[in-house]
Amino acid sequence: MNQSLICPRFEKAMNILSKRWTGLIIYQLLSGPQRFCNIESAIGISGRLLSERLKDLESEGIVKREVFPETPVRIEYSLTEKGRSLEPLMKEIEKWSQTWLEPENSKE
C-alpha cells in the first residue's frame, strides 16, 4: 500500500471550503464589507443558508460581523485577516476557471 494519509490541516481546510456556498461567500466578501441582503442577492443563496454559513465562518474566525446601531440598524460582514489570506487561493480558482472552463448557462 502506498497511501500516505492526508494531512489533518489540509483535510480541515477542505471541510471548510468544500461546504456548499462557503467559497462564494468568501469570494464575494473579498470585494469589501457588505450587508446580509447584498451577499444574498449577489450569489443567489437563501437567507436560511446564508445565515448558517456566516455563523460557521464567524466561528472559524474567517468572517467578522459588525453591528452599526444606526437607524435602521446596519449589520456588516467582512473578512478577518484569516479570511483575507484566502485571496491567493480564490485567485487561483479564478485563474483555473478562466483557463479550463466554459461558462455554462444551462443546468448541465
Partner DNA sequence: TCAGTTAGTTACTATATGTAAGTAATTATA
Partner DNA sequence: TATAATTACTTACATATAGTAACTAACTGA
Residues that bind DNA (CB under 7 A): 19-21, 35-38, 45-49, 51-52, 54, 65, 71-76
Would you tell me which residues interact with a second copy (CB under 8 A)? 1-14, 17-24, 27-28, 31, 34, 38, 41-43, 82, 85-86, 88-89, 92-94, 96-105
Distance of closest approach, residue 67 Cβ to a second copy, in angstroms: 20
Buried b (16+ CB within 10 A) or exposed e, 15-35: eeeeeebbbbbbbbbeeeeee
Beta strands in the chain (DSSP E): 34-35, 63-68, 74-79
Q: Among a second copy, DNA, none, what does residue 49 contact (CB within 5–8 Å per kind)?
A: DNA
Q: Between 65 and 91, whose beta carbon lies closer to a second copy?
A: 91
CA distance 21 to 71: 30
What secondary structure letter does DSSP report for 72? S
